[in-house]
C-alpha cells in the first residue's frame, strides 16, 4: 500500500479543493495531485465519457513565447517567432492561423522525442505563441526554448501564476455554453481569449481524453472561483489522475516518459502525422535523417495498441510473438473501464503491427493472449469544424 | 471463530483447522476499484508470507500474501467474474481463498482487531 507522500511537493492553486473533496493525493510531476476522488477511477472515467469531467492539470507547463521586437506586421512577426521555435520541433508553426493549435514534438539531434507539446499561434498578439509542455519535462523544455530564443524572443512561463483546468466529455460544450458562450464557437485545436471574472481566460478546444472538451488557462487568483463555478453545474464532476490515464489510454494517446522518450522517434511512436509536410520536404528539423529514412523504410520498432486477455499487462511487461519469443515491451497498460477489459500500448517489430495480429504478453511469468488492435480503442469524439 | 490480521492488510478468519483469507475494508479502500483477481491453485502449499493471490485495480497490481502457512483448499471463483465483490464485501462474500492451517501457533503471532485498528488509524 502506498505511503502518504512525505517529500516536498508543490501545490496547485486548487490543492485545498482536492483535499476538501476527499481526493487521494499522490506525488505526480513534483506536485501533490488527486489520483482519484471518493467515487473512484471507474466511476470518474465513465462520468467523463458520458457527461463532463473536470481535471486540474496545473502541473503542466503553459508558457508564452513573445517576439522581443515585433514589427507590427502580423504575418512577418508570426514568421519570425515560428522561425525561432521551428528548429527545435517537427511541426509547421509558420503555417498556423491565429488561434490555431498544433500538436508537435521537441526532438533531439538523433530524432528522439524530448517531449510532446502543444504550440499555438496567438489570436491576439502578433509574434506570440502559446505553448503547453508536460509537467515532468517542463524545466528542460523551457530551457531549450529560451536558448533558441536568445534575445530575439522572451519566454514567459505561466505555470506558477496560472492554473490549467481541463473540462472533458460530451456535455463539456453545454457546460461551456453557460459559462463562456463565445468559446463554443471554437473548433478542435483552436483557442481564444475570453473575459471571465476579473480577468481574461484562455480557452482551448483540446484535451487528452479522446472526448470533445476544453482546456482553460486561468489566473491563479481566479482558479478556485472557476473550479467552483464549473462544479456547480450538475453535469460536471472532478476527475483524478487515475481516470485521466485510463481515458488517454483508451484514446490510444501516448504518455511522455512511458510511451515516448528520448530514444523513440516520431515514426516509431506512430506519430508520423506530427511531422508536418512542409518540414518533411525541407528536412530541416532535428534528426530529420533518421526520421525521414524510417518514414520511407521501416523503423526498428513501432508503437501498437493491444487488446489483452485476462490480467492487465502493465508498463514493463514483455510482449511475445505467437511462438512465445520476446519481441517487445508494454510501455503503458491497464484496465479500460469503457471496454471492461485490459488494454496496452507497446513497441513491437513493424511486421507485427497489423490489426488482428496474434501476440502474447507475459504477466507474472505467464503468457496471456493479446491481439493488435486498431487505435484508438475508443473512438475520438473531437469537435471538428469543416474548414 | 476468531479473526486475525497482518500488517499487509490481509485477514484470516479461523474456523478450527481452516482459515478464510481476504483483504480488509481498509485495504480495498486504498486499492480502489478492483478489476481482476488472480486466485491460487487448489492444493498449493504456501508458507507464511508467500505470494498467494494478486489483486488488480485500474491503476496497479497488489500481491496478497499468505497470513500463515498451509494448503489452499478452496478459492472464491466468484471473484473471477465479479472482482468488484472485493470492494463491496471484502470481509464477507469477497473472501479470496481458504487455507488448511499448518501450524496454529502462527495464528497467535498475528494482529488482533484492536492491534490492526491501531495500525490503520
Q: Note the pLDDT tens digit of each residue in A1-58.
A: 334 445 689 999 999 999 999 999 999 999 999 999 999 999 999 999 999 999 999 9
Q: Is A270 part of any domain? A: no
DSSP symbol at B26: H
How far A345 CA lies from chain B's nearest CA (Å)? 15
pLDDT in tens, A103-140: 999 999 999 999 999 999 999 999 999 999 999 999 99
pLDDT at res. A289? 98
Decide: A266 and A275 in contact? Cβ < 8 Å. yes
A339 and A191 inside one domain: no
Residue B25 domain boundaries: 2-119
In 10 A of CB A153, how many CB atoms?
A: 24
Within 112-131 of A, beta carbons closer than 8 Å to B belong to: none
Mean pLDDT, to the nearest integer, of A66-86? 97
The cell for A229 is 463555478
pLDDT higher than 90, residue A248? yes
pLDDT higher than 90, residue A386? no
Contacts of A245 in chain B (CB under 8 A): 59
- Chosen domain end from A132, A157, A182: A157
CATH of the domain at A323: 2.40.30.110
Q: Give me the residue from B33, B56, B60 closest to A42, CB to CB.
A: B33
Rounded Cα gap, residues B37 and A214, in angstroms:
37
pLDDT at res. A1? 37
A223 and A183 inside one domain: yes
How far B109 CA lies from chain A's nearest CA (Å)? 21
Q: What is the ipTM of this complex?
A: 0.88
A191 and A307 inside one domain: no
Rounded Cα gap, residues A227 and A179, in angstroms:
12
- Measured between CB atoms, does A97 come within 8 Å of chain B? no
- Measured between CB atoms, does A2 come within 8 Å of chain B? yes
A330 and A366 inside one domain: yes
Contacts of A337 in chain B (CB under 8 A): 58
pLDDT in tens, A301-328: 999 999 999 999 999 999 999 999 999 9
- Measured between CB atoms, does A312 come within 8 Å of chain B? yes
Decide: B72 and B97 in contact? Cβ < 8 Å. yes
Rounded Cα gap, residues A210 and A251, in angstroms:
5
Contacts of B31 in chain A (CB under 8 A): 1
pLDDT higher than 60, residue A387? no
A76 and A50 inside one domain: no
In 10 A of CB A199, how many CB atoms?
A: 12
A51 and A67 inside one domain: no
pLDDT at res. A90? 98
Mutant choice from A23, A35, A41 vs B, greatest count of B C-beta within 10 A: A41
Decide: A308 and A342 in contact? Cβ < 8 Å. yes
- Chosen domain end from A96, A128, A157: A157
A46 and A134 inside one domain: no
Residue A121 domain boundaries: 61-157
pLDDT in tens, B5-60: 999 999 999 999 999 999 999 999 999 999 999 999 999 999 999 999 999 999 89
Burial annotation A348-366 (CB, 10 A radius, 16+ → b, else e)? bbbebbeeebebbbbbeee
Angle at A96 between CA A91 and CA A100, to 5 degrees: 105
Count of CA atoms in the C-beta half-sphere (13 A) of A384? 6
**Percentage with pLDDT > 70 across chain A:** 98
In 10 A of CB A369, how many CB atoms?
A: 13
Q: Which residues of B touch A (CB under 8 A)?
A: 8-9, 27, 30-33, 35-36, 38, 54, 56-62
Q: Give me the residue from A1, A312, A314 closest to B30, CB to CB.
A: A1
A100 and A210 inside one domain: no
CA max distance for chain A: 64
A219 and A368 inside one domain: no
How far B36 CA lies from chain A's nearest CA (Å)? 6
Across the interface, whether the CB atoms of A342 and B36 are under 8 A apart is answered yes
Q: Is A284 part of any domain? A: no
Count of CA atoms in the C-beta half-sphere (13 A) of A88? 22
Any residues with CB less than 8 A from the CB of A19 and at least 6 apart, and which?
A25
Q: What is the total count of domains within chain A?
A: 3
Contacts of A41 in chain B (CB under 8 A): 32-33, 57-59
- Is beta strand A213-219 parallel, antiparallel or unpaired with respect to A341-348? unpaired
How far B16 CA lies from chain A's nearest CA (Å)? 30
pLDDT at res. B1? 80
Rounded Cα gap, residues A33 and A197, in angstroms:
25
DSSP A188-235: TTBEEEEEETTEEEEEES--SSSSSEEEEEEEHHHHHHHHHHHHTSTT
Q: Is A139 part of any domain? A: yes
**Integer Rg of chain A from CA:** 21
Q: Is A201 part of any domain? A: yes
- Chosen domain end from A120, A138, A157: A157
How far A18 CA lies from chain B's nearest CA (Å)? 17
CATH of the domain at A41: 3.30.1360.120
How far A342 CA lies from chain B's nearest CA (Å)? 9
Rounded Cα gap, residues A243 and A359, in angstroms:
27
Query: What strand order describes the sheet that includes A113-121?
Result: A101-107, A113-121, A128-133, A61-67, A153-157
| Burial group, residue B57, by CB count within 10 angstroms (0-12, 13-18, 19+) | buried
Q: Is A88 part of any domain? A: yes
**Percentage with pLDDT > 70 across chain B:** 100
Mean pLDDT, to the nearest integer, of A277-298? 97
The cell for A41 is 477511477
- Work out the mean pLDDT of chain A and round it to a whole number: 96
Decide: B90 and B22 in contact? Cβ < 8 Å. yes
Q: Give me the residue from A41, A245, A364 closest to B32, CB to CB.
A: A41
pLDDT at res. B121? 77
pLDDT grade for A198, boundaries at 50, 70 and 90? confident
Q: Is A332 part of any domain? A: yes
Give CA separation, A116 vs A119, A249, A261, in Å: 10, 16, 10
Give CA separation, A149 vs A136, A142, A162, A237, in Å: 22, 10, 23, 40
A135 and A199 inside one domain: no
- Measured between CB atoms, does A311 come within 8 Å of chain B? yes
**Integer Rg of chain B from CA:** 13
pLDDT at res. A50? 98
Quick check: helix, strand or coil at residue B101? strand
The cell for A369 is 493472449
pLDDT at res. A7? 63
pLDDT higher than 80, residue A230? yes
A20 and A130 inside one domain: no
- Work out the mean pLDDT of chain B and round it to a whole number: 96
Contacts of A35 in chain B (CB under 8 A): 59
Decide: A209 and A179 in contact? Cβ < 8 Å. no
CATH of the domain at A91: 3.30.70.1400
Q: What is the total count of domains within chain B?
A: 1
Rounded Cα gap, residues A209 and A49, in angstroms:
9
A250 marked among binding-site residues: no
Q: Is A8 part of any domain? A: no
CATH of the domain at B76: 2.40.50.100
Q: Is A256 part of any domain? A: no
Across the interface, whether the CB atoms of B59 and A310 are under 8 A apart is answered no
In B, minimum Cα distance to A242 occurs at B59
A213 and A69 inside one domain: no
Across the interface, whether the CB atoms of A2 and B30 are under 8 A apart is answered yes
pLDDT grade for A199, boundaries at 50, 70 and 90? confident
Rounded Cα gap, residues A269 and A287, in angstroms:
14
Q: Give me the residue from B36, B58, B60 closest to A246, CB to CB.
A: B58
The cell for B95 is 473472501
Decide: A279 and A104 in contact? Cβ < 8 Å. no
For chain A, strand residue ranges (E) read 24-28, 31-36, 52-56, 61-67, 101-107, 113-121, 128-133, 153-157, 162-168, 191-196, 199-204, 213-219, 236-238, 302-308, 318-320, 326-336, 341-348, 358-363, 366-373
Q: Is the peptide bond before A376 cis (omega within 30 degrees of 0)?
A: yes
Amino acid at each position: 500500500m502506498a505511503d502518504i507522500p512525505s517529500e516536498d511537493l508543490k501545490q496547485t492553486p486548487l490543492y485545498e479543493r482536492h483535499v476538501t473533496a476527499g481526493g487521494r493525493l499522490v506525488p505526480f510531476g513534483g506536485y501533490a495531485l488527486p489520483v482519484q476522488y471518493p467515487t473512484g477511477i471507474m466511476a470518474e472515467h465513465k462520468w467523463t465519457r458520458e457527461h463532463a469531467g473536470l481535471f486540474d492539470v496545473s502541473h503542466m507547463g503553459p508558457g508564452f513565447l513573445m517576439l522581443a521586437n515585433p514589427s507590427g506586421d502580423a504575418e512577418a512577426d508570426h514568421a519570425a517567432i515560428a522561425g525561432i521555435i521551428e528548429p527545435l520541433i517537427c511541426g509547421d508553426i509558420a503555417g498556423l492561423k491565429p488561434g490555431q493549435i498544433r500538436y508537435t514534438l521537441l526532438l533531439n539531434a538523433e530524432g528522439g522525442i524530448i517531449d510532446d507539446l502543444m504550440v499555438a499561434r496567438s489570436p491576439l498578439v502578433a509574434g506570440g505563441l502559446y505553448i503547453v509542455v508536460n509537467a515532468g519535462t517542463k524545466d528542460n523544455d523551457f530551457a531549450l526554448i529560451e536558448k533558441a530564443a536568445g534575445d530575439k524572443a522572451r519566454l514567459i512561463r505561466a505555470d506558477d501564476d496560472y492554473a490549467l483546468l481541463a473540462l472533458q466529455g460530451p456535455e463539456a460544450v453545454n457546460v461551456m455554453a453557460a459559462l463562456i458562450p463565445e468559446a463554443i464557437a471554437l473548433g478542435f485545436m483552436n483557442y481564444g481569449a475570453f473575459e471571465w471574472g476579473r480577468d481574461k481566460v484562455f480557452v482551448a478546444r483540446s484535451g487528452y481524453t479522446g472526448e470533445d472538451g476544453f482546456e482553460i488557462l486561468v489566473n491563479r487568483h481566479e482558479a478556485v472561483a472557476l473550479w467552483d463555478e464549473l462544479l456547480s453545474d450538475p453535469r460536471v464532476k472532478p476527475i483524478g489522475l487515475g481516470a485521466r490515464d485510463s481515458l488517454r489510454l483508451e484514446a490510444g494517446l501516448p504518455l511522455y516518459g512511458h510511451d515516448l522518450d528520448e530514444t523513440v522517434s516520431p515514426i516509431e511512436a506512430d506519430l508520423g502525422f506530427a511531422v508536418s509536410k512542409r518540414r518533411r520536404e525541407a528536412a530541416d528539423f532535428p534528426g530529420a535523417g533518421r526520421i525521414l529514412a524510417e518514414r520511407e523504410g521501416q523503423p526498428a520498432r513501432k508503437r501498437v495498441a493491444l487488446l489483452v486477455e485476462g490480467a492487465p499487462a502493465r508498463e514493463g511487461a514483455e510482449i511475445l510473438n505467437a511462438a512465445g519469443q520476446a519481441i517487445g515491451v508494454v510501455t503503458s497498460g491497464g484496465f479500460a473501464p469503457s471496454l471492461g477489459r485490459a488494454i496496452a500500448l507497446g513497441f513491437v517489430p513493424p511486421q507485427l503491427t497489423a490489426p488482428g495480429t496474434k501476440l502474447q504478453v507475459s504477466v507474472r511469468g505467464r503468457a496471456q493472449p493479446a491481439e493488435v488492435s486498431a487505435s484508438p480503442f475508443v473512438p475520438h469524439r473531437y469537435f471538428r469544424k469543416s474548414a | 471463530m476468531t479473526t486475525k490480521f497482518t500488517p499487509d492488510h490481509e485477514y484470516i478468519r479461523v474456523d478450527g483447522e481452516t482459515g478464510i483469507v481476504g483483504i480488509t475494508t481498509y485495504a480495498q479502500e486504498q486499492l480502489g476499484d478492483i478489476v481482476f483477481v488472480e486466485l491460487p491453485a487448489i492444493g498449493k502449499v504456501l508458507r507464511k508470507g508467500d505470494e498467494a493471490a494478486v489483486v488488480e485495480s485500474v491503476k496497479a497490481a497488489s500481491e496478497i500474501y499468505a497470513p500463515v502457512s498451509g494448503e489452499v483448499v478452496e478459492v472464491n471463483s466468484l471473484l473471477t467474474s465479479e472482482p468488484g465483490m472485493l470492494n463491496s464485501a471484502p470481509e464477507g462474500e469477497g473472501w479470496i481463498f481458504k487455507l488448511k492451517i499448518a501450524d496454529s501457533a502462527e495464528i497467535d503471532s498475528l494482529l488482533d482487531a484492536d492491534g490492526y485498528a491501531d495500525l490503520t488509524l
